[in-house]
Amino acid sequence: MAMIRFTERPPFRNPWAEFERIRQGLDELSRNLSREGSSPRGGSVFPPLNIYEDKHSLLIRAELPGVQVEDLDISIEGDTLTLQGQRSHAPAGENISYHRREIQDGTFSRAIALPARIDTDNISARLVDGILTVRLEKADVARSRQITITTE
């Protein structure tokens, strides 16, 4: 049996102090996150996407304000859809001084792994009011089928 000499014993510690310290740390973390949440928009990925799925098709929407149709390129290879493009809205004037500059310029590229096999001959894309909508029809093998159940 291991013996601890009385003088070597660690000083008394409150066993709950450590939990309290962790709790305070978590509180601080969540406070920081919620503060970040109220800042003006400006995410880390561009463009932000919404993807919808129904029985027969996939619908991909992207927010692309200020992007011209000719500056946008969409390609599909296997199960990967790639969105590439560039945006430049900077004025071509002289003697300009900026008060605020929150809108970012430059090139972007995003690859999206499609959740289903799609019919590559049947894709449509539209860009209206800065929103890109890509509609992809699912391939026959990927469509959901109703299975009838029989009883005897």
Nearer to another protein, 23 or 56 (CB): 56
Nearer to another protein, 120 or 144 (CB): 144
Contact pattern for another protein over residues 41 through 70, marking x by CB under 8 A: xxx-x--xxxxxxx--x-x-x-xxxxxx--
Nearer to another protein, 31 or 89 (CB): 89
Q: Which of 45, 46, 115 is nearest to 81 (CA)?
A: 115
Nearer to another protein, 23 or 126 (CB): 126
List binders of another protein among 7-36 (CB under 8 A).
none
Taking the C-alpha atoms of residue 152 and residue 148, their distance in angstroms, rounded to an integer, is 13
Contact pattern for another protein over residues 90 through 129, marking x by CB under 8 A: -x-xxxxxxxxxxx-----------x-----------x-x
Closest CB 15 distance from another protein, rounded Å: 40
Count residues near another protein (CB under 8 A). 42
In the chain, what is the straight-line distance between the N-terminal and C-terminal CA atoms, in Å?
72
Among 74, 76, 125, 131, binds another protein (CB under 8 A): 131
The single-letter DSSP state of residue 152 is -
Q: CA angle 103-130-105, nearest 5°?
A: 25
What are the C-alpha distances in Å from 78 to residues 51, 114, 116, 138? 18, 9, 11, 13
- Give residues with Cβ within 8 angstroms of 145, minimum separation 6: none
